[in-house]
Structure formats: C-alpha cells, structure tokens
Structure 1
C-alpha cells in the first residue's frame, strides 16, 4: 500500500459493504480521495500515514446521504402559525423577497448543519414548497453551489421550471434595496437550468452536482386535452435537456396515481427519484417496476402525516427506497438519525409490528440505497477499498449510546446528529472533535439571521415570526 494520507484506527467499522461487515477494532486508510485499505486488529496497520485519527470508542460508517431537501427553507422554517401561512411565506419570499445573498446565506447555514450531522451528500431543490424554483437567473444557483463548494460537502442542486401558468413573475432585488419585477418563461427557466448544469455539475470532484426538477402533475391537472398536451410538451423539453446533459431528475410530492401518470407523460426512468410518494396505487407500483425509478421516503414530513409511503411493500417489490429529510421545514431539520428512528416507528405503528424495518435496513436507506438511487453505488454509500473516502465517526462513549454492544442498533435507534465527531469527505477532514476550522460558524449564523430578517421585511411578513398564544393549552391548534 502506498503511504496513506490518513489512517483512522481503533474504530468499529459499520461498512454497509456487500457482506454488511461490522468490524471491531478496525482501521481504515485513505490515500488521496479514496479508501485505500480496511483492516482488522489482525492486519498490520500502515505505519507511515501522514495523519492519524484515533477513533477509540467510535463507530466509523459511510457518510449519510439525504436524498430530498429544499434550499431556502432553512431561513423560512420557523415562520407562520400554520402550514398554509408557511407555504405562503415560501412563495412570497422565494419569488419576491429573496436576493442572491439570501440563497448564499441559507446554503452556508444548511451545509454547516449537515456537516455537523454527518451528511456528506445531499439532494436539494433550489426552492420548492409551492413549486417556486429560483431559476429566473443563474446567480441564485451560483450562490448556492458556491457555498456548497466552500463547505467541502457534496450536493445535487435540483433546478428546473415551476408550475404553470407561464410566464411567472419574479422580483429581482439587489443588495442595495433596488428591485424590479421580471416575467419568466418556461423556456427561460430551462435556459438557466442548462447554464447551471454547465457551470457546476461535478459532484464527485467539486461536490456540486446539478439535476433537473419539474412539478408533479395529478389527473385533474391534465383532464383537459389542451392542458395535457402542454404538460407533455414541457415534460419532453425537460427530458430532452436531461438526456443531452446526462443528469438525474427528481420530483417532489407524488401520491395516489401520480407516478403512473408521470410514466404516461414520459418523465420516468432509472434516472428519476420521486419524493414523498404516499398512498400509492397498484398502477404506481407497476410504473416503478417498469421504469426503475426510485422512491425518496420522507418520514418526518407533513406529507407523511397526510398519507403513507408504503416503504416495506416497495422494498419487497424490489424497488429502491432511500431516505430524505425534507428539511428544513416548520417541524424538522437535517438530523438523519432522527429521520431513521422516525422511519422505523412510522411503519411499525402502521403494521402494529415492531419487526418491520430493522435497524440495518434503515441505515442502508440513508447510505448504500441512496447511493444506488443517485446512480453512485460504485462510488459512495459504503466503506470499501476504492470508493470515495466519505467517512464519518460517531462518538459512542455517551450514556444514551451505552452499553457498548450491537452498534447497528445503537446507531439507528439512539444516535443523533450531535454524536458525530469527525467527518471526512473526498479524503479531507472537514470536522474533527466537532470543530469545523474551515468554516466560520459565528459568521455563518449571523449572516443567516440578517438575511432571513431582510427577506421577511421585504415581503411584509414579519408578523409570521410571532408565535401565537394558541400554541399553548390546546390539544389541537384552532384553525
């Protein structure tokens, strides 16, 4: 073995490799951006590593993958007294109240939260909530991807057209307070999306992947022949760009027959990751098997309150299911350990059977299964020689993680984001002892607070930042 750059030693390695090995007293060698060696206590450690990380009492596992989240939400997540007002805030701020500085500040804060929680790869829609994607100008996506590159993490930024009718109105505000309203066509949003792909699509290298998104359509949206024709034409244009650029495609909010409709509209394939996907029909299952599309389960999301994603049934049908945070939003953040636990309890309660979704399978959904859905199973999602060195260390020397047995169970049921001690991405140590020296956390948080306040002021929505009194004493918040 060539001289390693990093040697991680004295760890319990939860590899998620094809044999699903859990190796006690293991060591891992990193050379460049790759894992170059994995050994047991019976194998001689490299003696000449340039840097040694002592992982005594820690578990090493692949970096977590969050397959569904929203840029922008981090600065809006605390707003509103209810879901309707929160969606209104998203729509107003994303389309009319946000600046380039807003999107940069939100991305910096999100990446800091992800890093501290062990998320090394994510997929993030550039907006959303109400299908408002900030693709009227490349500057907004540039700001987001630039912050991703600075963080050292990997993020697929999903960009594309919003929901008809077109053209849509966007307000472009400068940092000096000047603003102008512009009308944005479907074609313009595709042009901006292509520009962002050309500028930033390098997930394995720079960490800044780009994929395409378009709204989910339901049967009533295409009931009229003219409406169906227009949606098909838009789908064809998005798919033509996807094929030409060789990128992934994602959608947010499938339910009750919409997956089968998406197949009929021509926008599904192995390149597609479909978010939420609740209350699926037999035809939806058939469409998934036919096309090879993957499902993103967001167990902590509001949509998982309104309906149920049939995860065990999908897995047993041979369909790839991965895990997403749907963060940030009114009631959830980027703690993927929390979402793992929520996932297990969610489906066990449904079946009234605690045997569903055992801990190992749930960890797979946030690692190797997510890598498979992203088409990166050969590069990410497990600790294997030759794969990218995306490794996190979990400090298990804590009362809520003791006694020191059954590490897989402890990770899935009891760990949380604050237990992540060390994060290595692309062979670089980004966090050690929970210190992120390359990021100025105080500056990131101050900037986030300032940009959020300015966005709410611009849109006249500061009243949504006041918590209502009916949060108290009531079993259900009055409407």
Structure 2
C-alpha cells in the first residue's frame, strides 16, 4: 500500500516532454513520486492510505521562488512614499532594531504566505542586505520554516563596506551595539551553512550570499560605464573568500548584480562570482557583453517584475535565447510585492512585452517553466524538484479550477498563467506530506501565526521609529501625483 494517490486531476508534469494528462494521477511513496500516469491505470495498480480527489483541479509541481527576503513580511508597504530612502531605512532597521525573536515570528508569517500561495521552495535573504554577524537570526528563521513545512534556501553573508561595521543586538530589552569585523560576518555565515545546509531532511539549504558580487560600485542600480574603474582589493578579497566558503561546504553562491558588475567581476579570472554554481538576482541594466558573459559562464539569473524594470530592464528574453537559465522571482514582500507567483508571471510578461513592443514574447508555457523547472535549475535542485516525474521529491500543489474566474476548463496552462491567483491553490504537499488540505493549513495554527506576527511588527515599528514612514501624505487622496513635502529621513541617522 502506497502513501498517497492524487487522482482525476489535470496533471501538468513539467517533465522533459511537458506532458499534460487530462485525467491524470500521481502516486507518492516515502516522500517521492512513484509514478505519474492516467487515473484509470494508477487506481488499478495501487492501493493508497490517502486518496486526494483532484477533479476540477490542476496538479503541478510546487512553485519555486528563487529570491525573496526574510524580514520583509513584517514591513509590507512601510516607507513606500519615501522610496528613495527605503533601502537605508530598512537596512538601519535590520541592523539595529530587530530582536532575535523577530526572525522566528517573521519566518512563520513568511513561510505561511508562501505555503498558501503554492510555493514549496523559497529563498530568503536575511534582511534588505544579508545580516550574518550572528547565526541566531538564520537559525530562528529556518526553525519557523521547518515548523511550517515548506523548503527554505537560507541566504546569508556579508553586507557592503565599510568595515568594521556596527550591528546591534537586543539583550534584556536593551540595545547593545558593537563594531563587527568582516571576518566575523564571514564566520557567522559559515556557522549558518554548517548548521543548516541539508538540514530538516534536506528541506533547508543554505547558500553563501554576499550582498552584491562587486562592492565598489552602486549596489542597487546600474553603474555608468565611465565609473567602472576596476576591481578594488576588497572586491577581489571578497570573491576569494566567498569561493573558499562555497567549496568548503559544497554549497552554492547567491547574490545581487546590476549593470557594470558582471563586466568587473569577469576580470577576476580565478575567483569571479560567476558560473553554474552562482545565481544572480536582478541583473538590471546589464550590457549585451555582460549578458553574453552570463550565458557563456552558465551563470543562473532571476528577475522580479517591478518599476525598476522600466528604468533598467533585465534582458531575460535575450539571456534565454543565448542559452542562460532564467527564473522569475517575487523579491517579496516589501515594500510592495507579494509572494503570489501567478501575479509575478503576468507582471513579468507585461513588463517585457511593453519594453520590446511585442505581444508574442514570453508565452505562458515559458512563464510556467520559469517558476518550476527553470527555477529548480537556477538553484541547483532540478535533480529532485521542479517537475512531476518518478523519483523526484513529491512537492505537489493543486489549483482549484472550479471557480468563475478560471472557468471554462480548457487551455489549462493559459488559464493558470493569465487568470489564477495565489488564493486558488487548494492542496500543498512537500516530501509527500500534506501541508494544506483545501486551503486549511495543517502544520501551524494560522490565526496564532498572524496574531504573533502582528504583535512583533508593532513592537519593531515603535522600537525603530518607523511610524513616520507609515503616515500618508496630503496628496494621497484626490491627487494624480504624490509629493512628500516634509523631510522624514535623516541620512545622519545611519
């Protein structure tokens, strides 16, 4: 007798042939997919302890969000009106005003939102820039994910210079600030990787994550060509140390990159943070030469849709045409994103169709690949995740198609990509364990998670003085363009 049999669903396998079985079934045993086939055949072949009737549901591999942030789920929409200062506001908050417990309660909400959105694997950079001066933050976040049941890729490592760098811990309600060396944050990141990589039955993995691959230029936007003066000593030292840590623990490298960084990184022939074991988020504003470097080195790329794509686009269509692996990420959830991968697919399509002035770019099948099998390849997990095939881990979701906005039931991939939303996900299994059954979460008390998260958010907002960044401006109502007339942020506060 096998563990689970999902029957009578439209099974979208995402396998090598991209099979779609209109009355399909998936057999699960010992956390892995035993067989995928027609319902009639599998029902006659297997008796199961649990049978899930997927009539009027699409059955597909769990969605994979290859880049998001730990911490952001408690700060949604804060400082949106002060977007020019959003990064320093949030970086200051993460470095000085969050408690150790913050990472656990935020992790519970973070994981719960992803679970209910059908995301079975999610990457989390801890903070707006990664924070690794102490491993407790990552350990607490991973504990929250483990209790919720979905997979987490914990991404932590050094932020940008100068060094030493001030960080605060809260002890018995009091702020204790210390100057932390670069070597200490590397040691903290190593401790996280040693403790968490392949932990919780391999539902947790840990990647070494410098904030950006080149620290000496603009970390959040493309740098003009005439400001690319070459790699600094710290750039070269960081690349060397990150490479050493990745080799020592046999883990992967995750980081951000923007235009100019890839050109500079490639100058370090020995330790460049490029290659098949590297995943770079954003890559906005890169040149054609840089896109070629990414494709030729096999560097994996992900991109999130947003206004930044209007200012400097990630050339995802060109990268894919050159053979690079590109995934869609949410970069969620602050200041204004969500963990809804269905919306992320649609937004990505619209951004690039508009930029290229061509309606036919990014067909729905490609978009679905970019959040399943391509995303799994992007993070080096495609041997076990990203498709419904015998031998792979049983990370499976169902989407309820018996709803007005998803009816009638045909052209299923089109319907999922163009009309579905996160709330349409009905069942979620990870390693064959049923985590959500018809929208009811089985692993955690959802109401308690929401209550605790709300309380921690309010405490942190008061501690960090964030309330002023939550007040609407006088232009919120009745105006077609917003202004912020008062000075809310003082750079000297950093």
State the TM-score, normalized to the length of structure 1: 0.95
Mapped contact 2:7–2:39 kept (Cα < 8 A): no
Residue of 322, 325, 328 corresponding to 1:323? 328
| Number of the residue aligned with 1:193 | 189
Residues 1:349 and 2:346 aligned together? no
Mapped contact 1:297–1:321 kept (Cα < 8 A): yes
Mapped contact 1:154–1:203 kept (Cα < 8 A): no
| Number of the residue aligned with 1:256 | 259
Residues 1:438 and 2:443 aligned together? yes
| Number of the residue aligned with 1:17 | 15
| Number of the residue aligned with 1:56 | 55
Q: What does 1:242-253 correspond to in 2, within 5 Å?
A: 242-252=246-256
Q: Give the secondary-structure state (helix, strand or coil) at the position aligned to 1:50.
A: strand
Residue of 123, 129, 132 corresponding to 1:135? 132
Q: Give the secondary-structure state (helix, strand or coil) at the position aligned to 1:387.
A: coil
| Number of the residue aligned with 2:112 | 112
What is the CA-CA distance between 1:44 and the residue it aligns to? 4.1
Q: Give the secondary-structure state (helix, strand or coil) at the position aligned to 1:236.
A: helix
Distance in 1 separating the partners of 2:197 and 2:147? 15
Distance in 2 separating the partners of 1:218 and 1:92? 18
| Number of the residue aligned with 1:378 | 383
What is the CA-CA distance between 1:220 and the residue it aligns to? 4.5
Residue of 296, 302, 321 corresponding to 1:296? 302
Residues 1:471 and 2:469 aligned together? no
What is the CA-CA distance between 1:64 and the residue it aligns to? 0.2
| Number of the residue aligned with 2:463 | 458
Q: What does 1:269-284 correspond to in 2, within 5 Å?
A: 269-284=275-290
| Number of the residue aligned with 2:492 | none
Mapped contact 1:77–1:330 kept (Cα < 8 A): yes
Mapped contact 1:9–1:55 kept (Cα < 8 A): yes
Q: What does 1:40-51 correspond to in 2, within 5 Å?
A: 40-45=38-43, 46-51=45-50
Q: Give the secondary-structure state (helix, strand or coil) at the position aligned to 1:264.
A: coil
Q: Residues 411-449 of structure 1, C-alpha deviation per residue, up to 9 Å, x if partnerless? A: 110000000000000110000010012211111111111
Distance in 1 separating the partners of 2:135 and 2:232? 29
Distance in 2 separating the partners of 1:290 and 1:206? 31
Residue of 31, 34, 45 corresponding to 1:33? 31
What is the CA-CA distance between 1:472 and the residue it aligns to? 2.0
Distance in 1 separating the partners of 2:67 and 2:387? 19
| Number of the residue aligned with 1:170 | 167
Distance in 2 separating the partners of 1:42 and 1:442? 40
- How many residue pairs get aligned? The number is 470
Distance in 2 separating the partners of 1:60 and 1:199? 34
Q: What does 1:90-109 correspond to in 2, within 5 Å?
A: 90-109=90-109
Q: What does 1:61-76 correspond to in 2, within 5 Å?
A: 61-76=60-75
Distance in 1 separating the partners of 2:40 and 2:139? 49
Residue 292 to residue 149, structure 1, CA distance change in 2 (3 Å)? same
Residue 42 to residue 438, structure 1, CA distance change in 2 (3 Å)? closer
Residues 1:230 and 2:226 aligned together? no
Residue of 362, 367, 371 corresponding to 2:367? 362
Deviating more after overlay: 210-219 vs 165-174: 210-219
Unaligned runs of 5+ in 1: none
Residue 171 to residue 474, structure 1, CA distance change in 2 (3 Å)? same
Distance in 2 separating the partners of 1:199 and 1:413? 41
Residue 235 to residue 218, structure 1, CA distance change in 2 (3 Å)? closer
Q: Residues 321-364 of structure 1, C-alpha deviation per residue, up to 9 Å, x if partnerless? A: 01100001122110000001111111111222221100000000
What is the CA-CA distance between 1:467 and the residue it aligns to? 2.5
Q: Residues 61-80 of structure 1, C-alpha deviation per residue, up to 9 Å, x if partnerless? A: 00000011011111112212
Mapped contact 1:71–1:125 kept (Cα < 8 A): yes
Unaligned runs of 5+ in 2: 219-226, 485-494
Mapped contact 2:26–2:36 kept (Cα < 8 A): yes
Q: Give the secondary-structure state (helix, strand or coil) at the position aligned to 1:68.
A: coil
Mapped contact 2:3–2:30 kept (Cα < 8 A): yes
Q: Give the secondary-structure state (helix, strand or coil) at the position aligned to 2:246.
A: helix
| Number of the residue aligned with 1:207 | 203
| Number of the residue aligned with 1:305 | 310
Deviating more after overlay: 462-471 vs 230-239: 462-471
Residue 218 to residue 240, structure 1, CA distance change in 2 (3 Å)? closer
Residue 41 to residue 451, structure 1, CA distance change in 2 (3 Å)? closer
What is the CA-CA distance between 1:256 and the residue it aligns to? 2.0
Q: Give the secondary-structure state (helix, strand or coil) at the position aligned to 1:51.
A: strand
Residue of 170, 175, 182 corresponding to 2:178? 182
| Number of the residue aligned with 2:425 | 420
Q: Give the secondary-structure state (helix, strand or coil) at the position aligned to 1:43.
A: helix
Deviating more after overlay: 268-277 vs 412-421: 268-277
Distance in 1 separating the partners of 2:400 and 2:135? 40
Distance in 1 separating the partners of 2:275 and 2:455? 42
Residues 1:149 and 2:176 aligned together? no
| Number of the residue aligned with 2:221 | none
